[in-house]
Structure 1
Amino acid sequence: MALFISLCCVFLNLKILHYKITKNNYKIHTLLILNIILIFIYILALRGPFKHVAINVQNYSFSEFKVVNDIMLNPIMAFAWAHKQYKEEQKIPSIDDNTAKEIQSKLFPYIDISQNNPIADTIKPSIFLNIMESFGLEIDEYSSKETNFLGELKQHFEEDFLFKRFLSSSNGTIPSLANLLFISPFSNISTSKFQTIKLPLTPIEIYKKAGYKVIFISAGNGSWQNIKEYLKKQGVDEIIDENSIINSYPQAKTTQNGYGISDEFLYKKAYEILQDNPYKTLIIALTISNHPPYLDYNIKINHDQIPNELLKLLPYDHKKQLAILKAYTYANNEFGKFLSKIKQSKLKDKIIIAATGDHRTRDLKNNLYNTKAFSYSVPFYLYIPKVLQYNINYNKNRVGSHKDIFPTLYNISLNNIEYISIGGRNMLGLTKNKKLEFGINDALWIDNQGVYTANKGYFFESNTSIKNTNQEIILDKYHKEFQELYYKLNWWQLNKRLNN
């Protein structure tokens, strides 16, 4: 195809070079209009469609072959992106080790050790971590008997461990993945000059050292953000993306939406893998169905039964409102069906399943009055078979964020391992240090009493919610400095692991 287009360009250029110039009779305003149209078409060809941005730094890769992706870009875009990333890398903050020690004395150590877990030494369960696209909690707040936006997932939320006072680490997919999988506050690490460096003490490395096989499965394209190559560098054994899934299930191709395929095929593939690997396998999954442009999922929702309070958060377009709610319900229902299948199979006593959202639900208005933190909330769900439950202390009203997911998994599946915590702790363990009872997002942070943003604090309505009142908290020195100190400590540990 590239060769064919090149030959066409050569042919056109030769035609132009040999064209005999003749005088035209166009008026000046006609020539201006024609030139403006030509410039517009040229810009469109450079940029890609305006309605659905097909070409940007996150998703210009559409092929498994790097050389095909590289020739897709025009030089102007490639240079602009490279220059922007170069400037971002120049801004990476750096602090010395002595300052880092002072910060740790004020906050907490950045390293921790998991509990002594004798069950983990005898049973090496497989783990399925599901990172769900746009799985915020605001829509679920309006679920009822008439409109159950969780679908089959609802019963599992009621049966198993669930934390709702919980925040995503970031507000985009790649920043949250970077924080979760690489413990990196630098979201573009997979495409940066550091992309060839293997980071120590990632969750991937910790589970690999414990004898686990690590598999990454995505309903999207593995070349997105260079994630496939970067995960290989970090030690992931097998990477399965939409192309691999379509090879296994050709009917999945009919569900492509520009960003990936429908979640049901991801779960189908994951179940097959777990059947073959019921022990010592970590599967990290990334879903896509709840990402625009939304497909017309076969979900029945009566628009008349949607609460007015929810409609106010959604776009005004009637069709788009239904599309958003159908996609949200479909994604949750498919995960619920997957959980039901696991629980009804021989795998029910062998598999630990964890799930969270990568960030808040897209296309919802952010209510900055009483949902400052709630707008950024995602669930943290855990299914742990009874036989694998050791030293469990469950308090569903505990606050937390993405930083706590892997520390929780380490404590329930491994024995006495050292890991980078950056304030993360076992959500199913006893409270050992009150300073660790917090959740943090790029936009704000929370503790047991309230939410803190832009040097202001607001009390929560109750100890079961993270909806806030308008009553301000008078901040002490610790709360005033916390977010900045945490930010510095997090960047310090990344620079140390990069030897940067």
Structure 2
Amino acid sequence: MWFCRFRQAFVALLLPWLLAVFTQTAGRTYLLSAYGSNEILTGFDADVTRMFWLGGLFDIRIASLLFVPCLLMAALLAVSQRSFHFWQRFWPWLAALLSTLVLTFTVGNIFYYATYDRAIDVFVFGLIEDDTVAVLTTMWQDYPVIRGLLGLGLFALLVFWLYRRWQRRLSAKPERRLSLPIGVLSTLLILAIGFVGMRGSIGTFPLRQSDAQVSDLKMLNMLTPNGLMALNWAFKAHSENSHFAEATDQQGQQLLSLFLDKPTPAGLAPFMAKTDLNPMAKQTPPNVVFAVMESMGYYLEGYDRPDRDLFGALRQHWSSDWRFERFISEGDGTIDSLSRFFVRSPMSGITQSSAQYLDFTSNMFKPWLANGYKVIFVTSGNGSWRNLNQFLSHLGVSEFIEQNGLKKRYPEAHLGTWGVPDEFMFRYIEERLAEADKQGEHVLIMSMSTTHHPPYKTPNNYQKTQLVLSSEEKQRMSNLATGTALDEVMQTLRYANDQLGQFISWVKSQPLGSRTIIAATGDHNIRGIGYPDPHERVLGHGVPFYLYVPPSYRQQSHFDATRVGSHKDIWPTLYQLSLSDTPYYKTGCNLLAEHLDDIWCQGYNPEAVITPQGAYLTDNGEYRPWVSNKGLLLGEPQRMTPEQQKQFNRWSGFTDLLLWQLNRQVHGQQ
């Protein structure tokens, strides 16, 4: 009788198992049809097939991990008729819950891809670690939450009804006794199939994250895992983000020797450098303002036209001052980029980790603090976001101004989802610069804006301009927003640019403008548009780097707009402009040097490394030259020369090197 009951439980659970596989496959199919145009997928037929094959194996693995334990539970309860009867009544409830869970994360993965152009990853924990209320408000405004919840509820009721019917049908069938050999063999076969299903593979290793790399086309790699599998990897990445591994001498020597292209002993000494003598900066230390602008990406700049003004007051400075266009963000999220700016941490959770109180050797504010600067951080957002207010105070930031302080100072400021409008942040910076000038202080002010962030909304008193997009442009950005929502995206971009431009104009109009350096960049390119075309792989990370340097501080500078760079190069460039003979922690290069450092002077993002000639894509090992001598579009893949292969190998290990130096500091190994 046990074998009969076990077989019935297997047949009963086969239905929700199949539905789980179908649901996840359907989600993948929808994403491919919605975001994979014929133009993009041309020539990738074999990769699409491989994506569905391996994706299906991931779906089988998830379905098996959910329902094979249920089968084992049924096996234990099948020892008696009474306990098995309890199982027959209980499993439809459990299966309905698990089926709804699968659908929830399948739909969640679809919306996540629509927003971030990738499967669920470690940034999903922003729901908890960001301003949770603001994140939920954004979700409420940007997604059909009510319809989604109603749909999930209806689905749960429907599958529960289906499973109950299925169980009644199975119970109505007369039990057929099995001989002992057949019963044992069928049980072992079922368990073996279940075991293989939970592994997703009959090879040495279970199906794992590296198996999701099925194509040179990033989109296909992102569609291969299902929502629950991607969430599992996100949990692992988040856990690793809270763990600081031992930074061994052997590992450090290998990483340093590879990157520096010469035998190098383990230690932090290779990261120590010193600025050149700078008589002007020594005699009259300049103020430095570094504005990090939310989603100021390279891509949307291209939508500016003579009859479509996306820059406002920033335009005159954008065209006349120094600006690097072949420039990329080092992080692909706000906190990811900020953690690198603060302490050169590739771990975005560093501000909330056990190491948050560490005296980092890589504290990027230390060179200014050593020269008597007051370091000020101003954000139009919430100061407790990601624990920034606490973390930055331990780095030497003596003044931390955020939305509540700005609201108190400027009562007319309306407090929105992510903070107050950027204009109040810039107004405060103006007033603080004027105060510093009056008191004879020299200050470093770093700011983080928030207005150009979903849910997009310009201040009520802002005078909007007409920004008409063509049907092709609307279609290109339909993944990001449509209709009036898309117009608001463009309006908030213009508003943020305009406020930055008005601030720069104010500085230049003041006497203090002759001794104030201004830098600006985006924290990351705008997300949600989607950059599935391999030729746009760098474009997805593109941000500008703008510099205003008063004439008296330019003597040792050699500006060349064709130079490439990334976030890692901003601090070294500002150090050289404003500090004389000052030690600093070097993980980037001075973009204004007469002769660029061949070791450090390339643009770096964990997914792409850019050079003056082209880009290396680290996930698939490709090298692609630029299409032209301007812009960030890539051409077709080319075979690497031995020198290019060497350069690719160096930068492929850069994230590991950054992790090693961070762990070295955490463990107190200098």
Per the alignment, residue 347 of structure 2 pairs with 186
Which structure 2 residues correspond to residues 159-170 of structure 1 after superposition, within 5 A? 159-170=320-331
Contact 1:314 1:365 survives alignment (8 Å): no
Give the aligned partner of residue 407 of structure 1.
Answer: 572
Which of 272, 281, 289 pairs up with 2:431? 272
Q: Which one of the candidate residues 120, 124, 141 is aligned to 2:281? A: 120
2:600 to 432, 436, 453: 436
CA positional deviation for 1:61: 7.8
Cα distance, 1:413–1:296 mapped onto 2, change above 3 Å: closer
Report what 2:185 is aligned to: none
- Give the number of equivalent residue pairs: 437
* CA distance in 2: counterparts of 1:310 and 1:494, whole angstroms: 43
Please give the per-residue CA displacement for 1:245-268, whole angstroms capped at 9, x wherever unaligned: 00000111x2x3211111000000
Task: Give the direction of change, closer, same or farther, for the CA distance of 1:282–1:258 in structure 2 (3 Å limit).
Answer: same
Structure with the bigger percentage of helix? 2
Q: Which residue of 2 aligns with 1:426?
A: 590
* Correspondence list, 1:289-328, <5 A: 289-297=451-459, 298-302=462-466, 304-306=468-470, 308-309=472-473, 311-315=475-479, 317-328=482-493
Please give the secondary structure, in 2, of the residue aligned with 1:127: strand
Whether 2:285 is the aligned partner of 1:285: answer: no
TM-score (norm 1): 0.81
Partner of 1:76: none
SS of the equivalent of 2:636 reads strand
- CA shift for structure 1 position 285: 0.3
SS of 1:131's equivalent in the other structure is strand
Please say if 1:464 is aligned against 2:630.
yes
Do residues 230 (structure 1) and 230 (structure 2) align?
no
SS of 1:435's equivalent in the other structure is coil
Specify the code of the residue in structure 1 equivalent to 2:442: K
Counterpart residue type for residue 546 of structure 2: Y
Which letter maps to 2:239? K
Partner residue in 2 for 1:499: 667
Unpaired segments ≥5 residues, structure 2 = 1-92, 105-110, 116-123, 135-231, 261-269
State the Cα deviation string for residues 49-103 of structure 1 (Å, max 9, x = none): x9999952211389xxxxxxxxxxxxxxxxx9xx878722465455423443343
Report 1:48-87 matches (<5 A).
56-60=128-132, 87=239
**Cα 1:414/1:248, change in 2 over 3 Å:** same
CA distance in 2, matches of 1:378, 1:260: 23
Write the distance in 1 (CA, Å) between the matches of 2:641 and 2:320. Answer: 38
- Of 387, 405, 412, the residue aligned with 1:251 is 412
Distance 1:311 1:431, change over 3 A: farther
My pick for the range that moved more, 208-217 or 448-457, is: 448-457
Residue 85 and residue 487 in structure 1: after superposition, are their counterparts in 2 closer, same or farther (change >3 A)? closer
Q: Does 1:490 align with 2:658?
A: yes
Closer/same/farther in 2, CA of residues 317 and 465 from structure 1, 3 Å limit: closer
Partner of 1:47: none
Name the one with the larger strand percent: 1
**Shift in Å, 1:190:** 0.9
Quick check: 1:358 aligned with 2:523? Answer: yes
Distance 1:365 1:61, change over 3 A: closer
Distance 1:236 1:270, change over 3 A: same
Which residue in 2 is equivalent to 1:445? 609
Contact 2:259 2:651 in 1 (8 A): no
What's the Cα RMSD here? 2.9
The answer as to whether partners of 1:299 and 1:330 remain within 8 angstroms in 2 is no
Q: Percent identity?
A: 29
Q: Match for residue 88 of structure 1?
A: 240
User: Which runs of 5 or more structure 1 residues have no equivalent in the other structure?
Assistant: 1-31, 44-49, 63-79
Letter in 1 for 2:424: F
- Pick from 291, 301, 308: which aligns with 1:147? 308
CA deviations over 1:387-446 (Å, ceiling 9, x no partner): 222211010010000000000010010012222222x11111122432323111132111
In 2, Cα distance between equivalents of 1:61 and 1:223: 12
1:355 Cα deviation from its structure 2 partner: 0.5
1:368 alignment counterpart? 533
Report the Cα offset of residue 129 of structure 1.
Answer: 0.5
Deviation per residue, 1:316-361 (Å, 9 max, x gap): 5211210111111110011001111111122210211111000011
Query: What code does the residue aligned with 1:443 have?
Result: E
Give the Cα separation in 2 of the matches to 1:85 and 1:445: 22
Q: Which moved more, 1:185-194 or 1:430-439?
A: 430-439
Secondary structure in structure 1 of the residue aligned to 2:335: helix
Higher RCO by CA contacts (8 Å cutoff, separation 6 or greater): 1
- Please, which of 323, 336, 346 is the counterpart of residue 511 of structure 2? 346
